[in-house]
Amino acid sequence: GAGVSQSPSNKVTEKGKDVELRCDPISGHTALYWYRQSLGQGLEFLIYFQGNSAPDKSGLPSDRFSAERTGGSVSTLTIQRTQQEDSAVYLCASSLAAGFGQPQHFGDGTRLSIL
Amino acid sequence: EDQVTQSPEALRLQEGESSSLNCSYTVSGLRGLFWYRQDPGKGPEFLFTLYSAGEEKEKERLKATLTKKESFLHITAPKPEDSATYLCAVQAGSNTGKLIFGQGTTLQVKP
């Protein structure tokens, strides 16, 4: 079946611009996660959704970052006034539920480059 | 603070040369330990979940084991197609299921 789909796959933008990254999870998966992967930093948790609500936003690095999820499905991560340190690969993952031990399945990410 | 450390950072093997990757963790209330494989330009691909000390899981040439402080990913008679970055992650005591990742081990298997 279809896996997690992310778009765009690559995004190059100028410093100070806003960007929107999209994630389409596996059908039927209620839990959705955003992570960021930077060179030398590994994968860092950003935000978690259960349905349309976000009980854990603790990983968002600043108030320039926000995310929403609609219809319990598609999620959008928005970065306002982008900075060069925002350059990274943004990965989305989904799982059947947020229960312990549930494997998270990842998309191939959006590679964001800030000029 | 919950922490995951993987070693070595990089590993080069000849085809057929077995070895092990290490994942050491410090967490408050381990709920699950996960191994993923990541190829360049791709997202992590799920391999195994381990829940409790003494548990073992196998898939083809890979075998994952778990103790109270660390996990090992054993690779038996590796092939060049096993070349990838292997990531270890833990779920700790929160309710969100978020994963805390190690930095990964990049494995290169030469023919």
Quote the CA–CA distance of A113 and B57 in Å, as a whole number.
Answer: 38
Q: Does the beta-carbon distance from A98 to B104 stay under 8 Å?
A: no
A39/chain B closest Cα distance in angstroms: 10
Tokens representing residue B45 in the block: 């691909």
Question: What is chain A's Cα-based Rg?
Answer: 13
Do residues B10 and B104 make contact, with C-beta atoms less than 8 angstroms apart?
no
Residue of A nearest to B102 (CA): A42
Residue of B nearest to A10 (CA): B41
Q: Chain A residues with CB-CB distance to B under 8 A?
A: 4, 31, 33, 35, 42-45, 48, 55-56, 59, 91, 93, 95, 98-109
Q: Does the beta-carbon distance from B95 to A4 stay under 8 Å?
A: no
Residue with tokens 């081990």: B105
Q: Does the beta-carbon distance from B102 to A42 stay under 8 Å?
A: yes
Quote the CA–CA distance of B79 and B95 in Å, as a whole number.
Answer: 39
Q: Is residue A16's pLDDT more than 70?
A: yes
Quote the CA–CA distance of B63 and B73 in Å, as a whole number.
Answer: 6
Query: For position B96, what pLDDT does the model report?
Result: 73
A104/chain B closest Cα distance in angstroms: 7
Do residues B61 and B47 make contact, with C-beta atoms less than 8 angstroms apart?
no
Segment B49-79, tens digit of pLDDT: 999 999 999 999 999 999 999 999 999 999 9
3-state secondary structure of B17: coil
Alpha-carbon distances of B62 from A20, B21, B82, rounded to whole Å: 38, 11, 9
Q: Does the beta-carbon distance from A101 to B46 stay under 8 Å?
A: no
Q: Establish if B98 touches chain A: CB-CB under 8 angstroms.
A: yes
Query: For position B84, what pLDDT does the model report?
Result: 98
Query: For position A3, what pLDDT does the model report?
Result: 95
pLDDT band at B97 (very low <50, low <70, confident <90, very high): confident
B77/chain A closest Cα distance in angstroms: 27
3-class SS string, A46-79:
EEEEECCEEEECCCCCCCCEEEEECCCCCEEEEE
Q: Establish if B35 touches chain A: CB-CB under 8 angstroms.
A: no
Closest of A40, A36, A4, A47 to residue A112, by C-alpha: A36
Tokens representing residue B27 in the block: 């967490």
Query: For position A1, what pLDDT does the model report?
Result: 58
**Contacts for A35 with CB less than 8 Å, ≥ 6 apart:** A43, A44, A45, A46, A90, A91, A92, A93, B99, B101
Do residues B29 and A77 make contact, with C-beta atoms less than 8 angstroms apart?
no
Q: Out of A48, A91, A100, whose CB is closest to B43?
A: A91
Segment A42-89, tens digit of pLDDT: 899 999 999 999 889 999 999 999 999 999 899 999 999 999 999 999
**Contacts for B91 with CB less than 8 Å, ≥ 6 apart:** A100, A101, B30, B31, B32, B33, B34, B97, B98, B99, B100
Q: Establish if B54 touches chain A: CB-CB under 8 angstroms.
A: no
